[in-house]
Structure 1
Amino acid sequence: MSRYPARLEEGHGGTLLDPPRPRPPDARRRPRRVAMLSVHTSPLHQPGTGDAGGMNVYIVELAKRLAALDIEVEIFTRATSAALPPSVELAPGVLVRHVAAGPYEGLAKEDLPAQLCAFTHGVTRAWAGQRPGHYDLVHSHYWLSGHVGRLTAERWGVPLVHAMHTMAKVKNANLADGDTPEPAARVLGETQVVGAADRLIANTEKEADELLRHYRADTDRVAVVHPGVDLERFRPDARGVAAGRAAARSRLGLPQDALIPLFVGRIQPLKAPDVLLRAVALLLRERPWLRERIVVPVVGGPSGSGLARPEGLQKLAARLGISDVVRFRPPVGQDRLADWYRAASVLVMPSHSESFGLVAVEAQACGTPVIAAEVGGLPVAVRDGVSGVLVPGHDPADYARALYAFAADPARTARMSEAAVRHARSFGWATAAEAMADVYTEALLHRSRGAREGQPH
């Protein structure tokens, strides 16, 4: 059992609910409306482009499921075009509000701290037009939003729940070659947000431990809530995994008998797509006969430090002599992405750091096993030896060996596919939303008790 006041626990079987605990009569009051903050990336943006990724999926899916629990969500994000309307209904009960803060285009994430005052002003202006108590709670995502969150939550007299998603100290301890360290200003900013939040959301027990170790977070304020996956969209074909794989390959123009190791994600050193390419080059050098039956799709766009060399991965493929087997594809919508998962023999995630790894769970939900780095939350997202393979470190030779195991034993994909589907089913968004609602409830209760007793949060 976790030492954190979490609603969800890790286990080999996936996600389990804590047993209910006795509560005072007023403890179950859930918030009616939550102000959710996502400064640097909009939930309306296509994941896999720019700074949009797993966090975008997380915010969209969590908001939808919270709305299904009668918790309205208003998501504040920075306007990136003058043509954007002030607000957009994302789903029933979920509203996206666009806040003018800095130039619409050409503003890098690193330049956003200078616009936080303007963003905070925009959020408080929206609040000023509402009745007192319009928002019961603020939920901020990533450290930039956390700064806005601590100011607005204090002004409104409501709890702040914050999700780090990634942490500067953790990323800096696991930098890829050529990647840029996170600045000291971010480390300081994260420390301030950790001190201000009523509750801190960690994706896994390991992330919770990192919050305590690196940022000296208060154990009682850390809650572990696993992210979820859209099990309606990401699922095997109704005809079965094998038939679905064949159909998906046909739709995508991929050969039926190929070994297809798939990479999905933003193209940047942190995600380490270069490790996959180097592994494939090693594999083909040692077993050249595989060249005729291997296709390596890379689905995603440049992001972060990868923007400095947007063609870098294509050039690497050329230098390695594998341009003929690598297929670069731009980011795609969720339905098309599910087809790529179904078509693949295995998903490869050699990331240097992952707070959880939603892509890994999405692939498994479609029946595709995963080869992943044994970092961050990936040991929770992937069940080693059952639904996939965890690789210690980032040596391309280790990934080449893992890939060859699938090439040498085609039935291995079939065996792991069923286990992958079972494992992924424990990560539904409905379960995650219920757990998050419980965290909100505890934050509200703790805040109201502190107000009655004249104590800080």
Structure 2
Amino acid sequence: MLCLHTSPLELPGTGDAGGMNVYVAQTARRLAQRSIEVEIFTRATSSRQPPSVQPWPGVTVRHVVAGPFEGLAKDDLPGQLCSFAAGVLRAGARREPGAYSLVHSHYWLSGQVGYLVKDRWGVPLVHSAHTLARVKNLALATGDRPEPAGRVIGEDQVLAEADRLVANTGVEADQLRELYGADPSRVDVVPPGVDTDLFTPGSRAAARAASGLPADEVLLVFAGRLQPLKAPDLLIRVLPVLLRRYPGTRFRVVVAGGTSGSGHRTDRDLRALAGSLGVVDLVELRPPMPPEQLVQLYRAADAVVVPSHNESFGLVALEAQAAGTPVVAAAVGGLPVAVADGVSGVLVRDHDLGRWADAIAGVVLDPARRAALAAGAVRHAARFSWEATVDGLLETYRRAVQPPPGQVGDRPGRDGDVRAARDHGRPDAVGGDGAGRTGAPVGSGRVAR
């Protein structure tokens, strides 16, 4: 796997780390549990990082030196693609020929390296976009910057070169087709999952005590990166509306996350906004937290609010529901899949403050409705699992190494690559084991990267 701009070992909510980091870590671990060796290449961001680590059995994370360790924003990384690609290819040169079965790139920067690597090794490329520039530019938040033309061009190149594309939802698959001209026959819809062993329902009172939160207030929670795209400011702006409409109710807002992205918000910006609105004493800003603490915050909340301007899926919404908390979310991107409107939460069609106040109050101030949504949230989240995600990825990998008849050689440069992979026996690495399970033969030594 190629994960250039952020490491799966980083804490989500920090810098550029978010749902994609969780996705890469969870799928890599489970692929390894199915006897598929996984190597994840990411850019080194500290001189203290070892060249490689093995965070989970069967998974190696390699830190590639590409540019200075610190001080590079994501927008600076296109200038380091050559250096990163060289590091990946050098690592591959130290392996035996035919060691790798395929490359799975995450985000467009990794895809740029991925299609160079696939040609060098003669293996298929599977690509997950996670976010798309054209989609983001159609739903810009106030104060956000459009994604640059270089990214749009880069995405076009990657999507044209990839053997298969993985979309989180049918909505994303449609966007790939309509905005990028992707061939629908090469797009697979594989929804992300949620760790239902960790994110489970629990006592709200105990969770508030563990999180240091008052027991007698209506608690609204935002968790995620502090950037205009995620719209954490909306939850602060809607608070005065709620206070005016329901003067006898004590509300509290907790925002947990770190600065990220273009036109980013900082905790200082959000605190200043709360002060200007006269609600600074009711807003608590917390840094990103590990999953073991985050689940307690979800359990403590009366509702988790996800007001993003766009989300390819929305893992926070799924995690909160698995913890038994209803979600009030924007009806954008993949959130209508992650949240079942009226069953596990409420979807809001725009960013009008009055409409958000109505939606939030309709959940948190109606105990019977909240209880029904909380029960529905757990049931809905149970439909998504990382094991099912890996099942879908393995089917995609199989299609990549064994294209259906009529797809071999129908694009320039593909026939020789696929034939070379077949000649080296690489399809065996992600073939079936005869018992309905997909995975590489145990001890095969082949790698899904």
TM-score, structure 1 length as denominator?
A: 0.88
Contact 1:226 1:432 in 2 (8 A): yes
Structure 1 segment 423-442 matched on structure 2, within 5 A: 423-442=380-399
1:317 aligns with 2:274: yes
Q: Distance in 1 between matches of 2:151 and 2:331?
A: 26
> Which residue is equivalent to 2:303?
346
> Does the residue aligned with 1:298 lie in a helix, a strand or coil?
strand
> Which residue is equivalent to 2:137?
172
> Which residue is equivalent to 2:441?
none
Structure 1 segment 354-373 matched on structure 2, within 5 A: 354-373=311-330
1:72 deviates by: 1.3
Q: Distance in 2 between matches of 1:398 and 1:211?
A: 31
Contact 1:158 1:447 in 2 (8 A): no
Q: Distance in 2 between matches of 1:433 and 1:353?
A: 25
Q: Considering only aligned residues, what root-mean-square deviation do their CA atoms show, in Å?
A: 1.6
1:411 deviates by: 2.7
Contact 1:268 1:302 in 2 (8 A): yes
1:254 aligns with 2:219: no
> Does the residue aligned with 2:2 lie in a helix, a strand or coil?
strand
> Which residue is equivalent to 2:57?
92
Q: Distance in 2 between matches of 1:310 and 1:79?
A: 27
Instruction: Tell me the matched-pair count.
Output: 414
> Does the residue aligned with 1:106 lie in a helix, a strand or coil?
coil
> Which residue is equivalent to 2:15?
50
Q: Distance in 2 between matches of 1:146 and 1:395?
A: 37
> Which residue is equivalent to 1:18?
none
1:450 aligns with 2:408: yes
1:455 deviates by: 6.5
Q: Distance in 2 between matches of 1:42 and 1:407?
A: 36
Q: Distance in 2 between matches of 1:194 and 1:368?
A: 37
Structure 1 segment 175-254 matched on structure 2, within 5 A: 175-237=140-202, 244-254=203-213
Structure 1 segment 65-80 matched on structure 2, within 5 A: 65-80=30-45
- Match for residue 140 of structure 1 among 82, 91, 105: 105
CA-to-partner distance for each residue in 1:400-454, whole Å, 9 max, x for gaps?
1112213431232211111100100111101110110111011110199837994
> Which residue is equivalent to 2:442?
none
- Match for residue 247 of structure 2 among 275, 279, 288: 288
> Does the residue aligned with 1:289 lie in a helix, a strand or coil?
coil
Q: Distance in 2 between matches of 1:302 and 1:421?
A: 30
- Match for residue 234 of structure 2 among 260, 275, 282: 275
> Does the residue aligned with 2:402 lie in a helix, a strand or coil?
helix
1:313 deviates by: 1.0
Q: Distance in 2 between matches of 1:308 and 1:324?
A: 19
Contact 1:265 1:299 in 2 (8 A): yes
> Which residue is equivalent to 1:332?
289
Unaligned runs of 5+ in 2: 419-449
Structure 1 segment 95-114 matched on structure 2, within 5 A: 95-114=60-79
Q: Distance in 2 between matches of 1:357 and 1:249?
A: 24
Q: Distance in 2 between matches of 1:103 and 1:281?
A: 44
Same amino acid, percent of matched pairs: 57
1:48 deviates by: 0.3
Letter in 2 for 1:396: L
Q: Distance in 2 between matches of 1:130 and 1:314?
A: 52
> Does the residue aligned with 1:228 lie in a helix, a strand or coil?
coil
Contact 2:122 2:417 in 1 (8 A): no
> Which residue is equivalent to 2:447?
none
Contact 2:123 2:417 in 1 (8 A): no
Deviates more, 1:210-219 or 1:447-456: 447-456
1:267 deviates by: 0.6
Q: Distance in 2 between matches of 1:140 and 1:377?
A: 20
Q: Distance in 1 between matches of 2:17 and 2:74?
A: 11
Letter in 1 for 2:245: E
Contact 2:302 2:326 in 1 (8 A): yes
> Does the residue aligned with 1:446 lie in a helix, a strand or coil?
coil
CA-to-partner distance for each residue in 1:184-219, whole Å, 9 max, x for gaps?
000000000000000000000000000000100011
CA-to-partner distance for each residue in 1:350-394, whole Å, 9 max, x for gaps?
100000000000000000000000000000000000100000011
Letter in 2 for 1:254: L
TM-score, structure 2 length as denominator?
A: 0.90
> Which residue is equivalent to 1:60?
25
> Does the residue aligned with 2:196 lie in a helix, a strand or coil?
coil
Q: Distance in 1 between matches of 2:91 and 2:20?
A: 24
